[in-house]
Every structure is written in C-alpha cells, then in structure tokens.
Structure 1
Amino acid sequence: MENKTEAAEQESEEQKVSAFTRVMRFILRFLFVVVFGIVLGTALYVGVPALYRSTIEPMRANTQRIQELQETLSTGLSTNERQVEQVGERLVEVEGRLAEQGETTAALQAELDGFGEVLEEQASTISKFKLMSVQLEAIADDLDETMDRVELLEVALSEVEFPADQFGRQVRMITAMTMITKARLWLIQDNLGQAAEEISAARELLAEFLVNLTSNDVVDDVLVEIIERLDLALEDVRTTPIVAADELEIAWKLLVEETSP
C-alpha cells in the first residue's frame, strides 16, 4: 500500500512539474515573440527608413540618372545622326561641285591651250611680218639704188657718147638687178615658183655676156661669181628659201658694184 501511495504521489508531482514546465515554455515563447515583435518593429521603424535612405533612394537616384543619361545619349545619338546625315549631304554636294569645277577647269584648260596655240601662231606670224618688213625695207632700198643707177645711166648717155656695147651691158645688168629684186619679193610672199622663174631669167640674161665673149675678150670674174650665186639660189629656192635669199642679196650687191660709174 505504501508503495502504491508513493507511486501516486510521484506521478502527481511529475504532473505538476510537467504542467509548470509547459507554462514556463509558453511564457518564454510568448516573451520571445513579444521581444522579437518589439525588435522587429523597432528594426522596421528605424531600419526601413535608413535602408530606404542608404539603399533604395540611391538606387532610385542612380536609376533616374541612368535614365537621364540614356535620354541624353539618345538625344546625342539622334543629333549626331542628323549631323552625320548633314555632313554626308554636304559631302555629296561638295563632290558634285568639285566634279563641276573639274569639268570647268578642264574646259578652261582646253581653252587656255587653244589660246596658247593661237598666241604661238600669232607670235610666229608677227615674227614673220617683222622679218618681211625688214626684207621689204632692204628691197625698197635696193630698188631706190637701182633707180639711181638708171638715172646715172641716163645722165651719162645725155652728157657723153656712151659705147653701144657698154650701154647694152649696163642695161642688162640693171634689168638683172630688177629681176633679182622681184625674186626676193616673191620669196617674201612664199611664192617659190615665181621666185625661181625670176632667178632663172636673170641668170640667162647675164649668161649671154659669157656666151658672146670672143677669144680675145677677158672673162669678167665678178660676172662669173654673180652667175654662180644665181645657180646656188636656184638650187636652194625650193628647199631652203632663206639661203636662196642670202645668195640673191650677194648677187645683187655684186651687180651694184659692176654698174657703178
């Protein structure tokens, strides 16, 4: 009996301890929940604004700045694209102008080349005219001298009795001088055929003196040289007219010496 009573008392005590333990656990859990709630509330009350200020607000600011930068970049890209398009249009326009200027420059260069050729031709023509002017002045002087020879011959005929053969010689030489002068004029005009005819006629006229010489007559060396000069002029008249003109001038001066009184 005593054992049963002790066992019952032990069970009663164990039940009391178990109930007390349960109550304490409940109280501890409740306190933990309350403390955790207080801590959590305090953390939410204090930490959320701090978290907002330290993290969320900077993130929003950064996001806004990124958006602003993106908008700025987008605007800049659009502006750059427009500028690139404008530059491209200007380049196309400049290329077109350069092409037009190139064509204009080529046309102007062609005109300048044409003007250069014309100027060269005119310069050559002027040079020829100057040479012709000098030659004509020389021929005019030669004609004046020929006329002087004719006048001297007329005076000699009127004052003294002039031998017929000498008179004929003077007349033929003066006639040859006139033919040579005509030949020089034809050379200036580039009429080589007429010049050759005049030279040939003067040569034949003077050659008659040599044909009519007798064995007792003395050969006139000056006359022979004049005829040789005329032969050289005939050879050069169609190939090198300038050389032919020089030969004619020498022959003419020799005739002047021969017709001197």
Structure 2
Amino acid sequence: MSENASPTPENSASAAPSEPKPSFGERLSGAFLALVRFVVRLLVILAILGALGAAVYFGVPYLYRRYVQPLEALQAQVATLQQQSATRAEEVNNRLLALQGDLAHLNDQQQALAERVAQQQSSLDALQARLETLEKQRAALADQLDSLAKRLDAADASAAHAQATAAALQTAWQQEEATIQAMQMQVVVLQALESLTRARVLIGQHNNGLAAAEVARAQAAVAWLQQQPNAQNEALQQAADHLTLAAQALPASPDLALQDIEATWQWLNGLLPHATPTPTATPATAPPTPTPTPTPQP
C-alpha cells in the first residue's frame, strides 16, 4: 500500500528543481513597459485616425471645390446656353415669319402699282391716238382755212364762220394737250414710285447696288417732272433732295436711305389725284435676289 500511494507536496518540491520567482521590481518594470507599449500603440492609432480625419476634413472640401463645383457651374452654364439658344431660335423664327409677311405685302403693292402703271399706259395710248386724230383734223381744218383764205374776198361770211370753227378746235386741242400732259406726268410719278418700291425690296434683300440703281431711276423721273411747265416745284424739290440723300447713303447706310426713300414716297404720292397706300417700312430678309424689271425712262 505504501509503495503505490501518491507523493506529497513536500516530496514533489524536493524532487523537482526550484524556479526563481520574479521580484516586485521586475514585475513593476514589466507592467510599466506594457503600459508604455499600450500608450505608444494608442498614440499611433490616434495619430492615424487624426491624419485620416484631417484628410477627410480638408480633402473633401478641396475635391468639392476642385472638381464638383466647376462641374456644377459648367452644367448650369450649359443649361443656360441651351435655354438661350432655344429662345433665340424661336425669336429668329418669329422675326423671319414677320419679315416674310412684310415682303409678301410689299410684293402685292408692287404688283398693284405695276397694274396701275399698265392702266395709265393704256389710257395714255388712247389719248395719244385721240391726239393723232385731232392732229389730222387740225391739218384738215388748216387746209380748209387755206382754201377759205383764197375765197375770202368772195365769201367773207363763210370765212368768219370758218375762223370761229378753227378757234373752237384750237381751244379743244389745247385742253386735250393739257390733259395729256397731266396724264403723262402721273405716269412718270407712278414709274418713280415703282422704282422706290423696288429699291425698298432690294434693300430688304441686302442688294444695295441694285437699290442704288432704282434710286437713280427715280431721280431721273423727278428731274424730268421738274422741267414740266405745270410742275409742283416745292414737292418735287423736296423729293429730289431726299433722293439725293438716299443715293449718298447707299450702299453704306441702307437704314438712312430707307428713311429718305419713305419721305420721297410721301412727297410723290401727294402729286397723284388718289393717294396710294404707303408700304410698311420694315426691312425684309428674303430668298435670292430677283432680277429687277427695267423702268422706262421718261
């Protein structure tokens, strides 16, 4: 029994070699080193966290100012430019439609003037034919007067009657001649107005060279009117002055030329028995320039 019993602590201690126990200073030194390592690790972690926080605190606003704000500003500018482009496109379309309407109105007025000139020309042709008839009648009456003059000694009463008839025919001839003169002047005035209308259309089409040629035709017509015996000198002088200014303004200043053409239109229009409506003074932007119709010179 005594051989198989477990050894007692005293026996174990005496059997195993004894380990030296750390002293209190060693344990305190170990604890202090552990505390220092812990504090150092804590400071390193705090430094890393502080660096990350500073990077986030200063880096995010910098990235926002550097990249996000310019991108937002660029997007706002693009949106503004798109809106302005759409608005301007709509305004240009509206103005183009308005100018096309004005051009159509001017073309209608030009066609009406052309028809009126054709009517006046027909009337002038009829009066010219009547004038030729009267001229033939006057020649025949002159022959009769010569014959009557030879028979004057034998027929004083017949000669007196023939002289009275001749005087009446002469008066009728003078009246017809005055009427023809007035009609011819009206035709020339209408030709000048037609030239002014073409000049306005050509300026609206930015064809200032041809517009200057039309102004020159109108000047020639006004100059011919000023030479007539029954001419209204004040109105024609005003028209001639404005046409001179319009010719000087072309092609450099079409807007000033349009103002003088408008004033000339008013003065010439007042010379007609029935006033012709004044065309709208809106320049038009139109398709390709048509070839102008030559205006017959007086």
TM-score range, shorter chain: 0.5 to 0.7
State how far apart, in whole Å, the 2-side matches of 1:125 and 1:192 are: 23
| AA in 2 matched with 1:256 | N
Q: Which of these residues, 22, 34, 39, is aligned with residue 67 of structure 1?
A: 34
State how far apart, in whole Å, the 2-side matches of 1:253 and 1:216 are: 20
Structure 1 residue 222 and structure 2 residue 229: aligned?
A: no
User: RMSD over aligned Cα, in angstroms?
Assistant: 4.9
Deviation by residue 1:13-61 (Cα, 9 ceiling, x = unmatched): xxxxxxxxxxxxxxxxxxxxxxxxxxxxxxxxxxxxxxxxxxx98x968
Structure 1 residue 167 and structure 2 residue 180: aligned?
A: no
> How many Å apart are 1:258 and its aligned residue?
1.2
> How many Å apart are 1:253 and its aligned residue?
2.2
> How many Å apart are 1:101 and its aligned residue?
4.3
> How many Å apart are 1:109 and its aligned residue?
8.0
State how far apart, in whole Å, the 2-side matches of 1:184 and 1:216 are: 29
> How many Å apart are 1:188 and its aligned residue?
1.2
Q: Give the equivalent residue in structure 2 for 1:233.
A: 246
Q: Which of these residues, 266, 271, 284, is aligned with residue 258 of structure 1?
A: 271
**Is the 2:222–2:236 Cα contact (8 Å) retained in structure 1?**
yes
- Please state which structure has a larger fraction of its residues in helix: 1
Q: Structure 1: any 5+ residue segments left out of the alignment?
A: 1-55
| AA in 1 matched with 2:217 | A
State how far apart, in whole Å, the 2-side matches of 1:124 and 1:240 are: 25
Structure 1 residue 195 and structure 2 residue 211: aligned?
A: yes
1:1-261 map, 5 Å = 64=31, 67-68=34-35, 70-81=37-48, 84-85=51-52, 88=55, 95=62, 98-101=65-68, 104=71, 129=96, 132=99, 136=103, 139-140=106-107, 142-143=109-110, 146=113, 149-150=116-117, 153=120, 163-210=179-226, 213=227, 220-260=233-273
| AA in 2 matched with 1:168 | Q
State how far apart, in whole Å, the 1-side matches of 2:202 and 2:234 are: 28
State how far apart, in whole Å, the 1-side matches of 2:178 and 2:111 are: 23
Q: Matched residue of 1:207: which SS?
A: helix
State how far apart, in whole Å, the 1-side matches of 2:83 and 2:116 are: 49
State how far apart, in whole Å, the 1-side matches of 2:121 and 2:247 are: 32
Deviation by residue 1:194-217 (Cα, 9 ceiling, x = unmatched): 11111011111221222xx37787
Name the CA shift for 1:216/1:124 in 2 (closer, same or farther; >3 Å): closer
> How many Å apart are 1:179 and its aligned residue?
0.7
Query: Which deviates further from its counterpart, 238-247 or 132-141?
Result: 132-141
> How many Å apart are 1:68 and its aligned residue?
4.0
State how far apart, in whole Å, the 2-side matches of 1:253 and 1:148 are: 20
| AA in 2 matched with 1:247 | D
> How many Å apart are 1:157 and its aligned residue?
6.4
Q: TM-score, normalised by structure 1?
A: 0.54
**Is the 2:215–2:247 Cα contact (8 Å) retained in structure 1?**
yes
Identity level (%): 16
| AA in 2 matched with 1:230 | L
State how far apart, in whole Å, the 2-side matches of 1:61 and 1:249 are: 115
Deviation by residue 1:112-169 (Cα, 9 ceiling, x = unmatched): 7976996898699569747845853663574366357447747966998993322221
State how far apart, in whole Å, the 2-side matches of 1:132 and 1:204 are: 30
Q: Matched residue of 1:163: which SS?
A: helix
Q: Structure 2: any 5+ residue segments left out of the alignment?
A: 1-22, 128-176, 274-298
Q: TM-score, normalised by structure 2?
A: 0.49
State how far apart, in whole Å, the 2-side matches of 1:216 and 1:241 are: 33
